[in-house]
A and B are shown apart, each in its own frame.
Chain A
Amino acid sequence: MLSLLIFFPLVGVLVMYLLPKRVGRTVATVTSGVELALAGVMALLIDWSRGGVLQLEERVAWVPTLGASYHVAVDGLSVPLILLTALLTFLSLLYSGVEEERPPTFHAMFLVMETALIGLFSTQDLLLFYLFWEASLVPMYFIIGVWGHADRVKAALKFFLFTRLGGLALLLAILGLYLGVEPHTFDIPTLVRAQPYAGTSTAAALILLCFLIAFGIKLPVVPLHTWLPDAHTDAPTEGSVLLAGVLLKMGGYGLVRLALPTVGDMLAEWALVLAILAVVSGLYGAAVAMAQEDLKRLVAYSSVNHMAYVLLAVAVAAMLGAGSEARQAALTGAMYQLVAHGLTTGALFFLVGMIARRAGTREISKLSGLWGAVPVLGTVLAVVMFASLGLPGLAHFAAEVQIVLGALAVWWWAAAGMLLAVLLTTAMFVWTLQRVLMGRSDGLKGLKDLSAREGVTAAALLVLLVVLGIFPGPLAKLIEGATEQVRAAVLTRR
């Protein structure tokens, strides 16, 4: 089942190239639709009450001499992100063509990336993890570099170089883990059981440092974030959606899946520094977003703010002093935050794309009175922005509250800093809404409101944002099962 889920998009790519060019987009969209359905089936097949157990496990020898196997399985950490990936890829492909016609290769890149991402979230083997990690990089590089906006080549190169550096750091960390156990293996569950780097040591510190560089670049954490605004701004809308919606999640997922269970003690040692970095990132992201003139850049910087919560949650979870409940709550919040951010930021980039296509500009000062001109689009934008600033009843609220409460149990100042960041974000979004939606709409008269395709894209994300905000229960329970497991791994070491 999982292998089918992982590799089905590649089948779509093959079919695309066998059929004539003009049906390329249709084939790609249908493929990703089927893939979404498959992901749904996968979600139905697993037992939601046992999120901590690896399910749908498949294991085949791959490079036996290296101790690497093709080992895939899902648990509460993977399932939400796989669903998110499938959904956002489908919506991106559905949306593609709204702004301009794209060649089949463009769509093929999305399908290849979907395979890499779903593979990444479901693998239980470090080498495979690394393989999928880097494999997701190449399609995104082409998407930005070939089909992006003005400064695309430079942005793509910057993105590639940063992520590649992170990838190499990840490789070193993986090698460190691999060499730590006898016989050498890349198998994640085996490594977590063996705990080769329990306690603090130079080796553990080096491995953690490598992990932090790798995941910190992806997440991104100040000061490793400088690639992000350029890449997001210059990527085509569909690319930005996937970049912000899913690729950033790789960093958070990696921290929870790999760093915490293997070098957790070392992480606890450094937790204070990480918490400070997280608070700085949170405040920085919000403050810089406020200063942006470009709507897309604004959304990009708000990601820095949102992802800071994830880092804070990981730091809290690693802390020894924290009550284990608070710790687990923070972790669950972090995973929930990943999903929520995927949905809101995906929606925001879609909306910015729609606005830019209509108004011909993304500059906030040139946009005003959007509400009057295109009421439906304006309303959707307002709702999504409110979700992004953490309005209760929408997805982000549940996640951020859990993380801040978790942080309160450890460092009161971190919680306070994050609340200040929330305040800044709120001010930033409300101010933006005021500038974009209100006012006179002379320049935007006669614009068409949402088309059917745009409507479906926006509606799907909107509905999910509301549902996840009002009923966080089932998903949170699934995630909790997995975070319980991570906590157990951290606890048994002591």
Chain B
Amino acid sequence: MNLPTLTSADFFPMLPAIIMVVGACILLLSEVFLSAHSSRGYQAVLTAITAVIAGVVALKMVFEPAREVFLGFGALDPFSSFLTFVVCVALALATLTSAGFLRKRGAERGEFYALMLFATAGMSLLAISNELITLFVNLEVLSISTYALTSFLRRGTRPSEAGFKYFILGAFSSAVLLYGAALLYGATGTTHLTGMVLPLANAVRTNPALVYTGALLVAAGFAFKVAAVPFHMWTPDVYEGAPTPVTALMSAGVKAAAFAALVRVFVTVGPGLDPQLPLTLFSTLALLTMVAGNLLAIPQRNVKRMLAYSSIAHAGYLLLGVAALFATAPGEAFSLLGSTSLGTTATPQAVARAEALRGILFYLLAYTVTAVGAFGVVSVLERREDEERGTAWDLERFSGLAQRRPGWAFAMAAFMLSLAGIPPTVGFLGKLLIFRSAVDAGLIGLTIIAVLSSAAGVYYYLRVVVYMYMRPVPEGAHALERNWMTEFALVVSTVAVVVLGIAPGPVTEWLVQAGHLLGR
């Protein structure tokens, strides 16, 4: 019998996920031996440490030569490794804000952290999936964990509504994605992305309807996960109803992982399709998402909902980056697994694509540190009692925060400026990189729309700053409890937002590494 051989090198790209799963198992096992009153402070710390270790490993992997692993089921490349790093950062920061949040509600449990770890492991595996079934399974690992997390705080109607909505619509979108994948399989006879390119080129000629329906359904499935308009309807309700640290993980981590899979699928099978298809598709999605996200955010007085709509808007900017990736020399084949070094022979198109990819990656990191930080501030301000009335996240909560907690207000101001893309914050550099790629790729009109919509975005981000700094402290405002872990996360996020905004040096180095691989 001729068995394929797997070596430890095949398992290496899974290492971050393995570390996180082991961490989750430890948490689950230790949880059941605790009584209801035992101290559970170690759980958040353990989770954060696990995330940090996994993140460091992922960073190490960025410098590994790109290759297919697991018989082509997975791909180890700097792109997926950097995204794994990003989701680990999201997890670490979200975890640190969870401890205080859960304790206030008497809901601190090992299962919560275990689910967070499982979800993140799913994200990191999704980033390396190079085959449709593997991809789908990992997408489900991450989705099911987040469904459970969404309704983790069972009491009240909001969590149930959010969990239910997310589950139904999520399952629906998974089915759509799976159906699309099945059609692609039907058209090509393989589920391996790399192996699909040649048969796909044949199938496009013989049976275009099958191929395009498949590709569009797959794109729609991903569009749901990244909350792109018009597949965004669930986002505000789910983001509002989910526990705030979970919302943070969803808005940063799930988005990053879904973008990873989306880029990988369309970059890999793209050459087999009509060259204009990905470009048209993502340009349209980007246009709708940027404009709708920003416009819908403007009337929100509920900060958590505002951040949800802002998350949609940011998905729009990312889609602009994806469109730029496909706009440079459309139809020319390229691979995430290309040679590891651009060298001196790189064509201008290859350089441009590498830059577009770097832009997407940097933007995801920038959005992660900023959004998780912002949700962190939201989580320390809210109280359970106000949730049912829906006033827990009202702008009024931020009134006079600068006088009560100057540190929190400063951090929130930094996050808002970063989300609005104002230098010297990391959000600005992210936008700069994306816009640069888009202009370079000739998407001038789309970039101008992006610029205008982000100018509109300034209004609702600044409103939070106005309330914090220019409104008096309201009468009878409730006391603000401090929590060292949350504050530590806020400090880390703020420092990252400012320092990466001024000196992105090391990160751009990693990105150079991650971008090189596009050089075929």
Contact = CB atoms under 8 A, between A and B. Distances in A.
A65 B503 CA distance: 12
A168 B458 CA distance: 11
Contacts of A141: 462
B484 interface: no
B422 A134 contact: yes
Interface stretch (B149-157, B171-179, B294-302, B446-454): B446-454
Interface string A127-160: 1001100110110011001100000110011001
Given A130-B423, A171-B432, A145 B469 contact: yes
Contact of A152 (B417, B470, B503): B470
A171 to B, nearest CB: 7
Contacts of A171: 432, 435, 451
A53 interface: no
A169 B440 CA distance: 16
A135 B423 contact: yes
B375 interface: no
B439 to A, nearest CB: 5
Contacts of B422: 134, 137-138, 164, 167
B331 interface: no
B435 A172 contact: yes
A134 B428 contact: yes
Contact of A157 (B428, B462, B504): B462
Contacts of A152: 470
A19 interface: no
B455 A161 contact: yes
A11 interface: no
B424 interface: yes
Nearest to B417: A138
A161 B458 contact: yes
A275 B435 CA distance: 32
B296 to A, nearest CB: 19
A152 to B, nearest CB: 7
B424 A135 contact: yes
B451 A146 contact: no
Interface stretch (A173-181, A305-313, A364-372): A173-181
B346 to A, nearest CB: 12
Nearest to B463: A157
A160 B457 CA distance: 12
Given A161-B455, A161-B458, A153 B439 contact: no
Contacts of B454: 168
Interface in B452-511: 452, 454-455, 458-459, 462, 466, 469-470, 502-505, 508-509, 511
**Interface residues of A toward B: which range?**
20 to 34
B500 to A, nearest CB: 11
A97 to B, nearest CB: 21
Nearest to A65: B508
A202 to B, nearest CB: 9
A164 B458 CA distance: 8
B512 interface: yes
Q: Which of B440, B462, B502 has the most CB of A within 10 A?
A: B462
Contacts of B459: 157, 161
B444 interface: yes
A178 B432 CA distance: 12
B458 A160 contact: yes
B436 interface: yes
A66 interface: yes
B460 to A, nearest CB: 11
A161 B462 CA distance: 10
B470 A146 contact: yes
Contacts of A145: 466, 469-470
Interface string B278-293: 0000000000000000
A274 B424 CA distance: 32
B436 A175 contact: yes
A452 B470 CA distance: 33
For the residues of A in contact with B, the DSSP-based class is helix
B424 A179 contact: no
B348 to A, nearest CB: 8
Contacts of A176: 439
A142 B422 CA distance: 14
Contact of A153 (B435, B436, B447, B466): B466
A178 B440 CA distance: 10
Give the most central of B417, B423, B433, B455: most A CB within 10 Å. B423
Contacts of A138: 417, 422
Contacts of B512: 65
A196 to B, nearest CB: 13
A206 interface: yes
A18 interface: no
Contacts of A178: 436
A175 B435 contact: yes
A109 B512 CA distance: 36
A467 interface: no
A141 B463 CA distance: 12
Contacts of B462: 141, 157, 160
A131 B423 CA distance: 6
A175 B436 CA distance: 6
A172 B454 CA distance: 13
Nearest to A176: B439
A63 interface: yes
A142 B435 contact: no
Nearest to B450: A168
Contacts of B466: 145, 153, 156-157
A165 interface: yes
A102 B278 CA distance: 56
A206 B444 contact: yes
B505 A63 contact: yes
A164 B455 contact: yes
B455 A179 contact: no
Contact of B469 (A131, A146, A172): A146
A146 B468 CA distance: 10
A175 B423 contact: no
Given A130-B423, A131-B423, A164-B455, A179 B470 contact: no
A165 B452 CA distance: 8
Contact of A168 (B439, B444, B451, B470): B451
B457 to A, nearest CB: 10
Nearest to B429: A63
A342 B225 CA distance: 54
Contacts of A175: 432, 435-436, 439
B65 to A, nearest CB: 20
Interface string B408-435: 0000000001001011100010001101
A62 B62 CA distance: 22
B439 A179 contact: yes
B313 to A, nearest CB: 15
Interface string B43-62: 00000000000000000000
A134 B458 contact: no
A255 to B, nearest CB: 21
Contacts of B511: 65
A83 to B, nearest CB: 25
Contacts of A157: 459, 462, 466
> Which of A63, A65, A130, A160 has its CB near the most chain B CB atoms (within 10 A)?
A65
Contacts of B423: 130-131, 134-135
A176 B438 CA distance: 11
A48 to B, nearest CB: 33
A179 B469 contact: no
Contact of A66 (B444, B502, B508): B508
The 6 nearest A-B residue pairs measured at CB: A168-B451, A131-B423, A134-B423, A65-B508, A165-B455, A175-B439
12 contacts: A63-B504, A63-B508, A65-B358, A66-B433, A66-B508, A127-B432, A130-B423, A131-B424, A153-B466, A164-B420, A175-B435, A206-B444
Given A65-B509, A146-B470, A175-B439, 18 more contacts: A127-B432, A134-B422, A134-B423, A135-B424, A137-B422, A141-B462, A145-B469, A153-B466, A153-B470, A156-B470, A161-B455, A165-B455, A168-B451, A168-B452, A171-B432, A171-B451, A172-B435, A176-B439
